[in-house]
Chain A
Amino acid sequence: MKNSKIYLFALFAVLCSCKPDTECRVEQNIGMQVVFAIDSLQGDTMRVDFTTVDSITVQGVGNDSVLYDNQKSVSSLFLPLRTDASSTAYSIKAYGKTDTLYVNHENNINFISLACGCFVYHTIYDVGGAGGLIDSLVVLNAAIENYKQDNLKIYIHL
């Protein structure tokens, strides 16, 4: 009799455990991962170094919040893109220069679950800079989803 109660309780526990998560348990941060390379002319040859930026300030254009506020030794940036527009711009200050990074992108809404909501994945189709800091830009991976990978490389000319 005692054993049968235990079995009944175990069965009830198994059945009760069939409810799914109501909290999202997958990576929810989606953004563009940016790395840096510094090119400098040494004699007649151009030298390119992957590097950290000594000090950097990044702010989304049209947003009052600062993403990176005079942050030191930054080797990569994580920049969330707009989900309500197909173009996102950031103001970047480093080495005493200011530049604006433009990213044109496609937004793809993906329903994940009722717990997670919709994730907006992006596809970069164009990038550009307007200022004195950015020398050139290379798109490493155009797809921006909820896993970490380098998406954009910024060449900074000193």
Chain B
Amino acid sequence: MKRLLLILFVSVPLALSAQEYADTALFQGANLKLDLGNSVFEPLRSKGDILSFEGSLNFDVMHRFFPTLDLGYAQSDLSAASGSFRGKGGFARIGMDLSALKKRREMNMLLVGLRVGTAVQGCSTRDVVIGNGYWGYSTENYLGRVRADVWGEVVAGLQVQVYRKFHMGWYVRYKILFSRGKNGAVTAYYIPGYGYKQDTNFSFNFFIGFKL
């Protein structure tokens, strides 16, 4: 997987002709994107137990490279067979998209990219069951903890111009959690910007953007 990403990020820019770069100004403006899909999808999927909001700012470099900063906030109130989890916090992702279409248009793009994400949240894990059926059970609470997590993402998306400076599109994100925690450590059940704590995750963003 690492080799594939390296090839993607090295070979695509190199494949562009020198002529293409020569007649394009370096800085082509910036885009502000507001996520609509995840903000609606997460509460629907979780029946209101999760709220997640995010937006992003990217800079258009030669219509080809898009250094990107995503910022967001999420909160969760979840339960499972052996306890409940409540957390809220912010997250940020930084990375870059590449326009994968050979023919560059103003706002219509097929984008591929990488992100590194981090989230910091205050969280509590309650009523965690301890014990066995013979000697009996007790519960444990882990309250008021601050938890930071880090992950990487491979993203792919599409955007199209809808009206003058407005565009819309979607991203699919494949996420790999780096901060998995030591065995036995009390980790977060849900991570803002990442999703449920699993080794890997998928997510989907639908956004509306504005060219600044």
Residues of A in contact with B (beta carbons under 8 Å apart) = 11, 14-16, 18-20, 22-24, 29-31, 60, 63, 65, 67, 80-84, 88, 108-111, 113-118, 120
Complex contacts, B130 vs chain A, CB 8 Å: 83, 109, 117-118, 120
**Most central of A23, A81, A114, A116 by chain B CB within 10 Å:** A114
Distance of B7 from chain A, by nearest CB (Å): 25
Chain B residue with Cβ nearest A14: B202
Residues of B in contact with A (beta carbons under 8 Å apart) = 41, 45, 78-85, 125, 128-136, 138, 140, 142, 183-187, 189, 195-198, 201-204
**Most central of B81, B84, B85, B185 by chain A CB within 10 Å:** B81
Looking at chain A's contact residues, is the secondary structure mostly helix, strand, loop, or mixed? Answer: loop
Q: Are A115 and B80 in contact (CB under 8 A)?
A: yes
Closest 7 CB pairs of A and B: A117-B82, A110-B184, A117-B129, A114-B80, A22-B80, A111-B186, A115-B80
A63 to B132, CA, bound (A): 13
User: Can you name 12 A-B residue pairings with CB atoms under 8 Å?
Assistant: A15-B41, A15-B202, A18-B202, A23-B81, A63-B135, A67-B134, A81-B135, A84-B138, A111-B187, A114-B83, A115-B80, A117-B129
Given A18-B202, A109-B140, A114-B125, A60 and B187 contact (CB-CB distance below 8 Å): no
Complex contacts, A67 vs chain B, CB 8 Å: 134
Q: Are B81 and A111 in contact (CB under 8 A)?
A: no
Q: Are A83 and B132 in contact (CB under 8 A)?
A: yes
Chain A residue with Cβ nearest B170: A11
Distance of B60 from chain A, by nearest CB (Å): 28
Looking at chain B's contact residues, is the secondary structure mostly helix, strand, loop, or mixed? Answer: strand
Given A80-B132, A114-B83, A109 and B197 contact (CB-CB distance below 8 Å): no
Chain B residue with Cβ nearest A83: B131
**Most central of A18, A67, A80, A83 by chain B CB within 10 Å:** A18
Complex contacts, B84 vs chain A, CB 8 Å: 114
Chain B residue with Cβ nearest A16: B45
Q: Are B187 and A18 in contact (CB under 8 A)?
A: no
Q: Are A110 and B138 in contact (CB under 8 A)?
A: no
**Most central of A30, A63, A117 by chain B CB within 10 Å:** A117
Q: Are A84 and B131 in contact (CB under 8 A)?
A: yes
Q: Are B83 and A117 in contact (CB under 8 A)?
A: yes
Q: Are B81 and A115 in contact (CB under 8 A)?
A: yes
A67 to B133, CA, bound (A): 11
Chain A residue with Cβ nearest B175: A18
Q: Are B138 and A111 in contact (CB under 8 A)?
A: no
A11 to B203, CA, bound (A): 10
Given A15-B203, A18-B203, A109-B184, A114 and B85 contact (CB-CB distance below 8 Å): yes
